[in-house]
Structure 1
């Protein structure tokens, strides 16, 4: 997928300079509230390496977000192939994670809408999915604002989270190409 510019954001591939602010963001308990654990700097760096390898292998991935006006690192938004154990695999997931200073400014929605538009324009994905832990109502609300829909029968226990952990149960939202195109024509 191509780099993307929105009114306020630049969505681009990762740079070495992104490692420190991403590590700081990934060690923030508020940012990581709905993840099973915080990331160490080494884990955060390894995550970026996996993201870049995914880009190289598939031609899409999670973008690093930067604020156009300041060049500040904002977070990430992008696409990733869903883990193969998922009942909805194979599919492509959209996700986002923003540093706390950039919350409640509409950046996550702005970036996600741009990623979805580019993904459907440049790839033949039949749908894009998103999922989060049940208590993460902010992300679920964004999924709804993006036009994604949930069928409770699709909800699942995340295989990467321990049995009994309060974040194991996840909700799944979907956006089909047909629904996206219908909404864009309206």
Structure 2
């Protein structure tokens, strides 16, 4: 089983116990406002998401980790690697992404988990490059992206919803592990 420990977090594969807390995160309009059309997700939709994330682990050898706080065992959200299939021009890329519940915002958890994910991409999965796709205006994620050392590469339009997205990238030979 693939796990990563950081000073405060455990990044691990998904379990049945993660469904309810992840569904709670996905049901929060504040969390979801930057994702797709901003709609919240139901319990069933969250279960489908987790199933897709686990399938990606099986198909690609990487995926989105459940992120658990070491101190409390709480599920804070997710961070990990995925193929951004919703953007055809990035279908051959691997993206780092994250989503955390509002009680876990502003504490550096996203940066800590994303940094560990980039180390995983470089050291365990031997990737040369990783991208991140951020909706224009999402300053909190933009801050995490900057902390990772990723540079803006281009702006694209979301193919379904039409809003602008910024694609950032990092050559992992330049990543400061």
Into which bin does the TM-score normalised by the smaller protein fall? over 0.9
Aligned residue pairs, count: 175
Shift of 1:54: 0.5
Deviations 1:80-128 (A, max 9, x none): 0121743233010000000111111110011111110111001221200
Shift of 1:156: 0.4
Q: Which residue number in structure 1 is paired with residue 158 of structure 2?
A: 158
| Alignment RMSD | 1.4
Q: Which has the larger radius of gyration?
A: 1
Q: Distance in 1 between matches of 2:169 and 2:2?
A: 23
Q: Distance in 2 between matches of 1:89 and 1:83?
A: 5
Aligned mate of 1:126, from 125, 128, 134: 128
**SS of the residue aligned with 1:132?**
strand
Which runs of no fewer than 5 residues in structure 2 stay unpaired? none
Aligned residues of 2:2 and 2:13 also touching (Cα < 8 A): no
Q: Distance in 1 between matches of 2:113 and 2:42?
A: 26
Task: Trace 1:24-63 onto structure 2 (pairs within 5 A).
Answer: 24-35=24-35, 36=37, 37-63=39-65
Aligned residues of 1:84 and 1:90 also touching (Cα < 8 A): no
Aligned mate of 1:92, from 81, 94, 104: 94
Q: Distance in 2 between matches of 1:100 and 1:62?
A: 19
Q: Is 1:174–2:174 an aligned residue pair? A: no
Task: Trace 1:101-112 onto structure 2 (pairs within 5 A).
Answer: 101-112=103-114
Which runs of no fewer than 5 residues in structure 1 stay unpaired? none
Aligned residues of 1:78 and 1:94 also touching (Cα < 8 A): yes
* TM-score using structure 2 length: 0.94
Shift of 1:178: 2.3
